[in-house]
Chains A and B, each alone.
Chain A
């Protein structure tokens, strides 16, 4: 049981390049999330999904796209990378219950855009 995994772990892009970050979970969770973490700003939600085939915008969605074609995978795409997208990206998943939304996080992807 690997939990939540993310690939790649590190990446350096030039401005204007594109890439896709992959998140996979093996816990059969319905909900999946993409966050970015920047110094002093905590976690900010980029996009999320409440089930296979559905996605929704979070707090900071501009410049990103997502897809959830399979329940276990959640992809985050950057079509034209910008230096402002330099950050650490975390994927998370959850199985929301009546007792709240406990999230399980991946190890993160450190992205640098030059």
Chain B
């Protein structure tokens, strides 16, 4: 079983839709959870960073962590064509090694 599972999509939605991106993980030791956005031919950029369970909101983006079910989500409200990218979830145990476990990424297209 992979440490972090993520449906690669592709996911295609119309502009203005609410997008839900999800990952599951198997290691209960994970404490830190991140979402990265990667545009075509670019490196991943950090979008959201959360610790333990709960919600975190930043503009149109909301990250949600449910440690009881080992489920992490990213919601995008009022999606825009500029949100078209691959979204990667990542988990960290909080050890000293800075070891991130990544999902495969979900490719999102928002069409006008």
Are A and B subunits of one complex? Answer: no
